[in-house]
């Protein structure tokens, strides 16, 4: 524990005010204790000290002109964390909360997530403190073009391949790709999450949500159980949440909640997926408008949330899928879920449960799929998009979905067998972290001190 403590203290000095980053590092290092204690080579090669420091941190200003002719300035980031297994791979997030600590936490998580897929991709992340909400298409285009005016020189199909994340969908990817193509003269697979018209992959939009549900399916199957007939809680109302809900229905479960920044929607009969897609994918409206079509549903505004957590996790159910954002599920939420009979939690977002909440799940010995394993379907399908671009092919929806199922099964097996190897078969946090770490660390050792 002294080693972990010293590492965190050093990070706090060299990378100040990055609480989410410290949290992510501490969670991983806690899990690595068993392997660090029994394998001196990782200390000899200073793997931890090297792994917690990004290979490259790019920070830049992003000036752009709004519709009133006023120059606005945002801050852009790209953290190229680790390339031991392949080119840097990870999304771009456009949100007012973005700062260096958020991007570093996401990039650090991405190293292990990408390693777990078994695919040849390293870890990176990026974004800007730009809020696309309320902006016109012209403003978003001008921002994206300015963002790429700096970033283009750091990315490429065999160097660093960004994708979407919160605030970055096919529209934003399109504007960035267009500017990249204009600046470089290259038409290559430098972005994933592209439109199907020009190099995108089928299933990419659905992949994170689908993969999160597949992971839950494999966890339950190992216990002789299934998704069929289970009542499910889902947070969020973006791509991950919507397609988690879609796949839950396909596999016989009943999702009854979703949420956005204004509140939580609870529909005991089951969320109407068509209405949800209309609200969020077409009209970009608030969830509260769902009640116009379904007056039997209930909307809980954020002002009515419990002081110690989120309303969505206080509703009785058997399964929970946190699909919104980091640290959305508190210790009190976790205690409520366990008390209400939840038997499995599968994380669709990145680090959505606080460390105290994770401890509640592990102590209760319920099925718990940490985000770096359970939500890896998105980046896995991004790599499948890269493969299609490189070979100039287009695979069918069924082909990509089948490959996604296999990848998620392999991720589950890798995490669960590693957890069992270290004497904690129920602890997929330990299993996922050690399995991902070993792949990256061994590759780093083989490639020398770089």
Q: Which of 402, 412, 382 is nearest to 212 (CA)?
A: 412
Q: What count of residues does the chain have?
A: 450
Longest dimension (CA), the chain: 63
Cα–Cα distance for residue pair 273/275, rounded to 1 Å: 5
Q: Which of 53, 50, 71, 56 is nearest to 151 (CA)?
A: 56
Q: Are 124 and 81 in contact, with CB atoms under 8 Å apart?
A: yes
Structure tokens at 393: 């092919």
For residues 266 and 300, the answer to whether their CB atoms sit within 8 Å is yes
Catalytic residue among 104, 125, 205, 230: 125
- CA angle at 238 for the pair 23 and 88, rounded to the nearest 5°: 55
The C-alpha angle with vertex 23 and arms to 40 and 243, in degrees rounded to 5, equals: 110
Whether 146 and 62 have beta carbons less than 8 Å apart is answered as yes
Report the interhelical angle of 19-38 vs 428-446 (nearest 10°).
80
| Contact (Cβ atoms closer than 8 angstroms) between residue 348 and residue 209 | yes
Distance, C-alpha 448 to centroid of its chain: 30
Which residues share a beta bridge with 75? 61
User: In whole angstroms, what is the distance from residue 147 CA to residue 183 CA?
Assistant: 12
Pair of tokens at residue 334:
């976790």
Q: Does 10 participate in catalysis according to the annotation?
A: no
- For residue 121, the Cα-to-chain-centroid distance in whole angstroms is 15
Alpha helices for 392-427 (secondary structure H): 397-421
> What phi and psi values does residue 326 have, to the nearest 5 degrees?
-65, 145
Which residues are identified as catalytic? Answer: 125
């Amino acid at each position: 524990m002294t080693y972990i403590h010293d590492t965190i203290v050093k990070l706090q000095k060299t990378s100040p005010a990055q609480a989410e980053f410290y949290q992510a590092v501490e969670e991983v290092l806690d899990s690595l204790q068993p392997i660090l204690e029994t394998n001196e080579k990782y200390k000899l090669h200073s793997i931890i000290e090297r792994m917690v420091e990004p290979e490259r941190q790019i920070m830049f200003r992003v000036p752009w002109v709004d519709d009133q002719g006023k120059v606005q300035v945002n801050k852009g980031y790209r953290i190229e964390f680790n390339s031991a297994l392949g080119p840097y791979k990870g999304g771009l997030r456009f949100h007012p909360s973005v700062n260096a600590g958020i991007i570093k936490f996401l990039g650090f998580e991405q190293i292990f997530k990408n390693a777990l897929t078994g695919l040849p991709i390293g870890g990176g992340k990026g974004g800007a403190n730009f809020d696309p909400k309320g902006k016109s298409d012209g403003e978003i285009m001008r921002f994206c073009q300015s963002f790429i005016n700096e970033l283009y020189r750091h990315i490429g199909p065999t160097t660093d391949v960004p994708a979407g994340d919160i605030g970055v969908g096919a529209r934003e990817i399109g504007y960035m790709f267009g500017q990249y193509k204009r600046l470089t003269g290259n038409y290559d697979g430098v972005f994933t999450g592209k439109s199907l018209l020009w190099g995108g992959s089928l299933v990419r939009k659905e992949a994170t949500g689908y993969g999160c549900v597949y992971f839950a399916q494999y966890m339950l199957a190992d216990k002789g159980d299934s998704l069929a007939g289970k009542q499910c809680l889902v947070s969020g109302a973006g791509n991950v949440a919507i397609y988690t809900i879609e796949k839950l229905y396909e596999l016989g479960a009943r999702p009854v909640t979703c949420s956005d920044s204004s509140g939580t929607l609870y529909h005991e009969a089951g969320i109407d997926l068509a209405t949800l897609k209309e609200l969020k994918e077409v009209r970009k409206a608030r969830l509260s408008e769902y009640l116009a079509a379904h007056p039997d549903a209930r909307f809980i505004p954020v002002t009515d949330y419990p002081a110690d957590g989120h309303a969505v996790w206080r509703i009785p159910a058997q399964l929970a899928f946190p699909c919104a954002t980091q640290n959305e599920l508190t210790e009190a939420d976790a205690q409520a879920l366990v008390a209400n009979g939840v038997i499995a939690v599968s994380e669709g977002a990145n680090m959505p449960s606080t460390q105290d909440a994770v401890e509640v799940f592990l102590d209760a010995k319920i099925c718990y799929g940490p985000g770096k394993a359970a939500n890896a379907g998105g980046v896995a399908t991004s790599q499948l998009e890269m493969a299609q671009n490189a070979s100039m092919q287009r695979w069918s929806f069924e082909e990509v979905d089948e490959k996604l199922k296999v990848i998620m099964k392999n991720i589950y097996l890798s995490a669960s067998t590693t957890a069992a190897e270290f004497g904690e078969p129920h602890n997929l946090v330990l299993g996922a972290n050690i399995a991902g770490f070993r792949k990256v660390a061994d590759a780093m050792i083989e490639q020398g001190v770089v």
